[in-house]
Structure 1
Amino acid sequence: MSRTPINELTDGMTLGQSFQAADKQLRVNRQGGKYILLKLSDRTGTIAAMMWNADEAVFDRFDRGDFIHCQGRTQVHNGALQIIVTDIERMDSGEVSADDFERFDAQQVQRNVTRLKELLATVSQPWLGRLAEAYLSDEEFVAGFSQAAAAVSNHHAFPGGLLEHTVNMMELVRLIAPRYSELDTDLLMMGAFLHDLGKIDELKSSGEISYTDRGQLIGHIVIGIQLLGTKIDQVEQITGEVFPATLRYHLEHLIVSHHGVLEYGSPKIPVTLEAVALHHIDNLDAKLASYTSIIERDIAADGNWTNYHPAIGRKLWKKS
């Protein structure tokens, strides 16, 4: 069954095709009428959808994560494309092509895993090298890391996105650190590797990306600190020696301060040069990925500028 990918939809299209129901909510409007608010997804992204004059019977036809066949049309609302759905029917997984919905790029992930190992191999400080090996020798950890997303929606929000974001940051460390002799390159490299590892358990990457119960209750910073403690314990058991306390504190500080400010969830603001650098490297890669995604998804008629996006407080210049 042919279908138009979400990233190729345009205003005014009549649709009759499959999507995956990423989310659904039954709501009541001011007049007391009921409607269904949807988030539909495929391999290329997500799109909001609305079904007016709906009821519980329609709402109960399908669950979150199900494949559904939607009849409707596209329209622009407040500068964003959405779908007005007129009919919904649940589909069996055998009725859709997995290639239309699978967002995991196994070949790219393998390339990123290989590069991750190469970058960690440049760490010459013995204790940090042993710590890196404790992570890489854990097959369950590597498998989870390979599948994890970096976010639900903001940046690198796809299976394998956390690994890509991490490798990008480590590549930036290789470029930036040699220009500042005051920086400890090995420490900064490990900070880039460790900073978001808690997201492996904070987010669920199979199906639609969402927060796990542990993620909601604890968050990736605390989970990352707990994981670091476990791996340090393993290194101590292997070596029979105590991991240097000051080095551990610096690694922990890199994790807890990488958001940069308290308002964004960091328990501590950066107070070491490596932590300051890590925060800005993280922010650079995340912002460029997020803004690039905005440009790619934009449907503004103006060829040079995107629509105004309230979340970032600006329009963006599109590539010529």
Structure 2
Amino acid sequence: MSVVLTISALRSRAREGAVTAKVRAQVDDLIRKEDRNAKPFWELKLRDGGDALSLKAWNSSPNFAVCEELDRGDSVEVEGEFSIGSYGLDAQRWTLRYLTKDEERQLFEGDSETRAVNEADFASVTRLVESIREPRLSLLCQTFLAEFGPRFRRAAAARNNHHAFRGGLLRHTAQMMISADAICGVYPALNRDLLLAGTLFHDSGKLWEMCPPENGFEVPRELRGELLGHITIGIELVNSLWRKIATEEWKSLQPASEDIRAHLLHLVAAHHGELEYGSPVEPKTPEAIALHYIDNLDARLEMIFTAYKKQPEIAPGVRERVWALNVSPVNALPAWEASGEDTAGA
């Protein structure tokens, strides 16, 4: 009996040879094309929570008629013999069926590992938000999580390159907040509360720029996101929530509320680091500088770790070029582990 695998796990196993398996995914796109002999075929693009796969249904195959009945957004299971060819992961012989409602629900919730990671990430973000002592920043961050938690947990951080999957924004933000907290231990002059709040909100505009629907993996293009971009939307969100929760008591607090708000907005505005990369202003405070580099570090590490899983080797230990990194990644050096002989005299 074939085992059900994620597309990413299937891709990894197929590198070692052909594998018979099942994949559950959503129809991302369905394109009718013609080959060089003008014979029609379907290109079926499938997507799950972490990867994508393209299959072809030739007009001589029973799957050609099956694809005629499919629509974008359908949830399906594909079973077949998969292998890595010159065009990547593919299947020569495969069958398709629609998922039941219960199977569809499980697909969008993710497998047990995906759910566990999402829960752990949200718990990390919540814990760090609760550790913020400055009352205005604390209330602002808690209000954001209370009002937009479900949307935050399913948004992607990008369409390509890094954390480009359902739940990717939460993963990216959680890792950044953990890093920010650690860096404050090395550089105690940093305003920890401000840096944590800025990290939480830095990509918050992506909730309206890169958020899949509740029952979907595709990241749609919304008018607001296209016209404004996530930095502008994030600034608007901070201002909106700030006005909503502000009280008269804040006027007696120091630093002044308007100074705190301005510094937080600067972190959101400057996190891309340079004007040519989309920030309207460059980092001008210690926290803004720290946030920019934490963001860049997490994104670049995610891209290289993903390359180890997805990019084929073009030479021993060397992966196919990752254009966003502008390099051909080299396999990482394994960590040293003590052998029995090394520890015998300890």
TM-score by length of 2: 0.76
Conserved? CA contact 2:209–2:221, under 8 Å? yes
Are 1:286 and 2:299 matched, yes or no? Answer: yes
Alignment of structure 1 residues 210-289 onto 2, 5 Å: 210-213=219-222, 214-237=224-247, 239=249, 241=251, 244-289=257-302
CA distance in 2: counterparts of 1:115 and 1:238, whole angstroms: 32
Letter in 2 for 1:251: L
| Percent identical residues | 31
Q: Which amino acid aligns with 1:291?
A: I
- The 1:126–1:8 alpha-carbon spacing in structure 2 relative to 1, beyond 3 Å, is same
Relative to structure 2, which stretch is displaced further, 220-229 or 267-276? 267-276
Q: Is the 8 A contact 2:204 2:234 kept in 1?
A: yes
Q: Is 1:66 aligned to residue 74 of structure 2?
A: yes
Q: Is the Cα–Cα contact under 8 Å of residues 23 and 39 in structure 1 kept in the other structure?
A: yes
Tell whether the 8 Å contact from 2:151 to 2:211 is kept in structure 1 after alignment.
no
Could you list the per-position Cα deviations for residues 112-149 of structure 1 after superposition, in whole angstroms to 9, with x for gaps in the alignment?
Answer: 3332232123323332223223324x3x3122222323
Partner of 2:339: none
* C-alpha distance in structure 1 between counterparts of 2:248 and 2:302, whole Å: 39
- Report what 1:318 is aligned to: 331
Unaligned runs of 5+ in 1: none
Q: Does structure 1 conserve the Cα–Cα contact (< 8 Å) formed by 2:57 and 2:67?
A: no
Match of 1:119 in 2: 128
Identify the range of structure 1 (6-15 vs 211-220) with the bigger mean alpha-carbon deviation.
Answer: 6-15
Give the aligned partner of residue 218 of structure 2. 209
User: Could you tell me how far 1:222 is from its partner in structure 2?
Assistant: 2.0
What secondary structure, in the 3-state scheme, does the structure 2 residue paired with 1:150 have? coil
Whether the aligned pair in 2 keeps the contact of 1:112 and 1:167 (CA below 8 Å) is yes
Aligned Cα RMSD in Å? 3.4
Which stretch of the first structure deviates more once superposed, 273-282 or 85-94?
A: 85-94
Unaligned runs of 5+ residues in structure 2 are: 335-346
Residue in structure 1 matched with residue 338 of structure 2 by the alignment: none
Task: Report the 3-state secondary structure (helix = DSSP H, G, I; strand = E; otherwise coil) of the residue aligned with 1:74.
Answer: strand
Counterparts in 2 of 1:39 and 1:98: CA distance versus 1, 3 Å:
same
Q: Distance in 1 between matches of 2:280 and 2:183?
A: 26
Classify the secondary structure of the residue corresponding to 1:37. Answer: strand
Cα drift, residue 177 of structure 1: 2.7
Distance change (3 Å), C-alpha of 1:256 and 1:28: farther
Alignment partner of 1:49 is 2:55 = yes
Kept in 1: contact 2:319–2:329 (CA 8 A): yes
Distance 1:163 1:17, change over 3 A: closer
Q: TM-score, normalised by structure 1?
A: 0.81
Q: Radius of gyration: which is bigger?
A: 2
Q: Any residues of structure 2 matched to 1:85-104 within 5 Å, and which?
A: 89=96, 91-93=98-100, 102-103=109-110
Give me the whole-angstrom Cα distance separating, in 2, the residues matched to 1:155 and 1:255. 19
Contact 2:155 2:211 in 1 (8 A): yes
Offset, 1:29: 5.8
Paired residues of 1:51 and 1:86 also in contact (CA < 8 A): no
The 8 Å contact of residues 40 and 48 in structure 1, kept in 2 or not, is answered as yes
